[in-house]
Amino acid sequence: MSRHLPSRRSFISLAVAGLLSLGLAGCKEPVKFQGSDISGTHLGRDMAMVDSSGTLRTLADYKGKVVVVFFGFTHCPDVCPTSMAELAQTMSLLKGDAKKVQVVMITVDPERDTGAIMDTYVKAFNPSFVGLTGSPDQLHKTAQSFKAYYAKASGGTADSYSMNHSSSFYILDQTGEARVLLNGNAPAKVIADDIRQLL
């Protein structure tokens, strides 16, 4: 009877190996982003800014979509328009999947960037883009939530001044969780590739 044990053990080993391989086949590959993986940081959770209609917007309003958040301002001479143009190109690269993505630009200059000005600015890049503004307090809390830096640049006048600010793309998944941080000069292909990982 003992001579049958090895074959029985072999059969059990093969069966276990087969079950394991089936189980592993059902597992998803771990997500590998080209940007920095910020999963678990909960950045942006306290976002609360106002759109062009005066409606308060939070991440809950965009649930079900991958959200790309960018901080900038409409008087920005180069960095902001370049970054927004890359986001517009990103939407073109995503083709049909673009409808599952919401790009949101938050102004760091609410003093000059009204809701109407923000709306006109972002829609010049893509009609689906959303521009958000708000009170200085709302901006402070929202930027703090993203750990985004901004400050009025020294010099200039009351009407003519510039803003210093961090330039990054924050990509949040369809549940509103921050997942990827990309440099604001990241090319459209890289942005699109990281977005696709979350669709």
Query: Residues at the annotated binding site for Cu cation?
Result: 76, 80, 165
Backbone angles phi, psi at 116, to 5 degrees: -65, -40
Residues 133, 143, 83, 170, CA torsion sign? negative
Alpha-carbon distance of 25 to 47, in angstroms, equals 38
Q: Residues comprising the binding site?
A: 76, 80, 165
Token pair listed for 5? 């044990």
Residue 32: half-sphere exposure toward Cβ, Cα within 13 Å: 1
Q: How far is CA 85 from CA 35, 138, 142, in A?
A: 19, 26, 24
Q: H helices of the chain, where?
A: 5-25, 79-94, 115-123, 136-146, 188-196
Comparing CA positions, the residue from 109, 163, 168 lying closest to residue 135 is 109
Alpha-carbon distance of 128 to 123, in angstroms, equals 7
- Burial (CB < 10 A; 0-12, 13-18, 19+), residue 178, is buried
